[in-house]
Amino acid sequence: MEKLKVALVGTGNICHAHVGAYLRRDDVEIISCADINLDKAKAFAAKYNIPKVFNSVEELLAGSDPDFVDVCTWPAAHAVVSIAAANAGKHVLCEKPTCHNMEDALKLREAVKKNGVLFQLAVPLRYGNAAQHARKLVDDGVLGDVFYGKTAYVRQRGIPGGWFSCTKYAGGGPIIDIGVHRIDLAWFLMGCPKPISVSATASYRIGDYRDDELKEQLANGGATVSADNAWAGSFVPDYKFDVEDSACGFFRFENGASLFFETSWSFNGPESFATQIAGDKAGFTLEPFKLYTADGAELKEEEITGIEETGIFYNEIDHFINCIRTGTTPSSDIEQAVQMEAMLCGIYESAKLGKEIELKY
């Protein structure tokens, strides 16, 4: 089988995880990589024997000819890099969140459609084996009519280091960093109904709780890892903490279903990582994976076991590669990416305006 050629843009943390997935297969070849930090890109290329290294997506597209581009930059660069790749006729795998605002999301959709390329948003939780099994239960009608979802990704304290807490680069805080993972997962499990509105609140009360010594190190680039979170985005010289601590809200969908979410990097309450979906025949929780039914007043609770995980990053990349080879539309395609962007932007808008808002996309 002819190898598919991939080019990587943004050679930071998550790019290492993606490379780990590419290296597990022999039908893909990493032909080039690029980063605005050229030394970082060179070190990355040396580590993985990547033949060509560039300083920008434009140089990469002029100097190498991939079948698809894997966009692993910080969110502020997702749209510009993905649009450049699509305009060069390349398929695009793009890290979450899709971009920074609805205007960019719509421009990206236009570029993807105009150029007839495939786009997949990297939302790895939906590609987990248990999540896929759970969605099959929904598709097979085991839950009946699915009308409710509830999901949480709540850290008591856990701000990632680097640009993650600076709106200019990240676009927001926990909503777009970790909330998106669980909102997407629950939405996927509900069958991706069309979102029509959101009512949400966001809290900016706790702020940057990290101690002064660490803040000083973070401001000078001497340290990028927060005391309580091992995930560190790159140092950015004009760093400023200006994002929310936590948020909660409620989406309505065209089919009458609703989804409640909670997310936080700083919250005075217990940590929570839970997703629950309910229909009129049955419901399930994913963590732990249990099916809930009732026979009249008799309640039944069945644990679903024996599902082995094979790697969420491997699975999401495997899905995209199969889509490219067969010309099929990815699960988290550009239409879903735009709807997810509308849901995320809608949370911020609703929180700012203090009312339920209609989602437009």
Ligand X SMILES: NC(=O)c1ccc[n+]([C@@H]2O[C@H](COP(=O)([O-])OP(=O)(O)OC[C@H]3O[C@@H](n4cnc5c(N)ncnc54)[C@H](O)[C@@H]3O)[C@@H](O)[C@H]2O)c1
Which string of x and - marks every residue 71-90 that binds ligand X (by CB under 6 A)?
-xxxx-x---x---------
Task: Work out the number of other CB atoms within 10 angstroms of the CB of residue 250.
Answer: 15
Q: Which is nearer to ligand X, 96 or 126 (CB)?
A: 96
> Residue 239 has what DSSP assignment?
-
Which string of x and - marks every residue 292-331 that binds ligand X (by CB under 6 A)?
----------------------------------------
> Residue 108 has what DSSP assignment?
H
Least distance from C-beta 324 to ligand X, angstroms? Answer: 20
Asked whether the beta carbons of 163 and 74 are under 8 A apart, the reply is yes
Which string of x and - marks every residue 110-129 that binds ligand X (by CB under 6 A)?
------------x-x-----
Helix (H, G, I), strand (E, B) or coil at 335: helix
Of 8, 35, 120, 348, the one binding ligand X (CB under 6 A) is 35
Which string of x and - marks every residue 148-187 that binds ligand X (by CB under 6 A)?
--------------x--------------x----------
Backbone angles phi, psi at 212, to 5 degrees: -60, -35
**Identity of the residue numbered 20:** G
Query: Is the four-CA dihedral 267, 271, 277, 282 of positive or negative sign?
Result: negative
DSSP character string of 189-223: HTT-PPEEEEEEEEE-SS---S-HHHHHHHHHTS-
40 binds ligand X (CB under 6 A): yes
14 binds ligand X (CB under 6 A): yes
- The C-alpha atoms of residue 235 and residue 86 are separated, in whole angstroms, by 28
218 binds ligand X (CB under 6 A): no
Q: Report CA Rg, the chain.
A: 21
34 binds ligand X (CB under 6 A): yes
Of 50, 68, 84, 96, the one binding ligand X (CB under 6 A) is 96
Of 165, 234, 331, 332, the one binding ligand X (CB under 6 A) is 234
Q: Which is nearer to ligand X, 122 or 137 (CB)?
A: 122
Total interface residues for ligand X by CB under 6 A: 28
Residue nearest to ligand X (CB): 12
Of 9, 121, 134, 323, the one binding ligand X (CB under 6 A) is 9
**Identity of the residue numbered 85:** A
44 binds ligand X (CB under 6 A): no
Residue the block writes with tokens 């990349």:
317
Q: Which is nearer to ligand X, 41 or 189 (CB)?
A: 41
106 binds ligand X (CB under 6 A): no
Least distance from C-beta 116 to ligand X, angstroms? Answer: 24
Tokens of 114: 């105009």
Residue the block writes with tokens 């099994």:
133
Backbone angles phi, psi at 86, to 5 degrees: -60, -40
Least distance from C-beta 314 to ligand X, angstroms? Answer: 13
Of 8, 12, 283, 336, the one binding ligand X (CB under 6 A) is 12
Of 173, 195, 233, 283, the one binding ligand X (CB under 6 A) is 233
| Residue burial 11-43, b: 16+ Cβ < 10 Å; e: rest | bbebbebbbebbeeeeebebbbbbbbeeebbbe
- The C-alpha atoms of residue 331 and residue 228 are separated, in whole angstroms, by 34
Least distance from C-beta 15 to ligand X, angstroms? Answer: 6
- The C-alpha atoms of residue 205 and residue 267 are separated, in whole angstroms, by 10
Residues of this chain that interact with ligand X (CB under 6 A) are: 9-15, 34-37, 40, 56-57, 72-75, 77, 81, 95-96, 122, 124, 162, 177, 233-234
